[in-house]
Structure 1
């Protein structure tokens, strides 16, 4: 999901401790790369820059401290907010690489030209990214590994996959 030429690169998940630290989720391929960028949050339809003063990569989570947020109470106001960066600050992708944000919303068809749905989100499972396809007609999700063996082509606003809907 993008906003004003910014894309989502993470999410504030919960508070950490009582001194204004957050636990965050990073959508960057290397989780620590999220701190290479000027992070912003969306409040009342306005992007507000966060000044990250400290962060720590722990074995099972990432925590960060933001200037001006010093208590658990002030921290709670930020929980569940997405973290944005300006698209222009991100590196160009290589051929056959995509930012997740560029795939979300695209229609997905199988090689028989059957509409499977639209990309609702993605997540990482082991070494692979997984497309989450929402199919409104069947009110269910289809999970398709984002692998060259499954992806035939990505063009305009659609993705064509080698996928049997009965799988």
Structure 2
């Protein structure tokens, strides 16, 4: 298995943050639909698959953060060493998505096209800067990435089986003030 195949078979579930206290607890951002469910996953690894993690316990801290106890991490220095480490799980350890559902990781590499079948490019990332998910698309013709809001209006079709999404680009908004 190549590094690219291994990365494609992994799904990002969370990211460690700063230490919490002096006994090895660490902040954890969970990307699972139920944030506390991250502790139930067996087989958490880093992106390379060489480091394995077992979460002994997690508890909420504030709106978007958890505090975790990681097996083998018993002091602040051990927690500091994990800061910004991302937690992945093998794709085959996840339940199959429901009909009309998918994992965000399944979108990476899909062809983006118009409703008429004209290729726009390939999805290279799904971003979220706080106002919702955004598809980052590498244009088929080259050049800078294109960004589209991942909404039902802009992306009315997600067809994982056919390896494509349909994009209905929103009307452009002019930044020029209307002086009339």
Aligned partner of 2:178 in structure 1 is none
Q: Is the 8 A contact 1:9 1:28 kept in 2?
A: yes
Aligned partner of 1:63 in structure 2 is 67
Q: Deviations over 1:5-48 (max 9, x none)?
A: 332111113222222112111111121221221152227x3333
Aligned partner of 2:55 in structure 1 is 52
Q: CA RMSD in A?
A: 2.9
- In structure 2, relative to structure 1, the CA distance for the partners of 1:57 and 1:39 (3 Å cut) is farther
Q: What's the offset of the Cα at 1:153?
A: 4.0
Unaligned runs of 5+ in 1: none
Distance (Å, rounded) in 1 between the aligned partners of 2:147 and 2:31: 21
Distance (Å, rounded) in 2 between the aligned partners of 1:99 and 1:153: 11
> SS at the partner of 2:46?
strand
Aligned partner of 1:104 in structure 2 is 108
Distance (Å, rounded) in 2 between the aligned partners of 1:84 and 1:19: 24
Distance (Å, rounded) in 1 between the aligned partners of 2:165 and 2:158: 6
Q: Does residue 1:7 correspond to 2:30, yes or no?
A: no
Q: Deviations over 1:59-78 (max 9, x none)?
A: 22111011211222221221
Q: TM-score, normalised by structure 2?
A: 0.74
Write the mapping of 1:60-99 to structure 2, written as runs, cut at 5 A. 60=63, 61-99=65-103
Distance (Å, rounded) in 1 between the aligned partners of 2:88 and 2:171: 34
> SS at the partner of 2:18?
strand
Distance (Å, rounded) in 1 between the aligned partners of 2:124 and 2:171: 15
Distance (Å, rounded) in 2 between the aligned partners of 1:29 and 1:119: 22
| Alignment length (residue pairs) | 164
Higher strand share: 1
Aligned partner of 2:123 in structure 1 is 118
- In structure 2, relative to structure 1, the CA distance for the partners of 1:142 and 1:20 (3 Å cut) is same
Q: What's the offset of the Cα at 1:116?
A: 5.0
Unaligned runs of 5+ in 2: 174-180
Q: Is the 8 A contact 1:108 1:119 kept in 2?
A: no
Aligned with 1:139 (options 141, 144, 154): 144
Q: Which one has the largest radius of gyration?
A: 2
Q: Does residue 1:162 correspond to 2:136, yes or no?
A: no
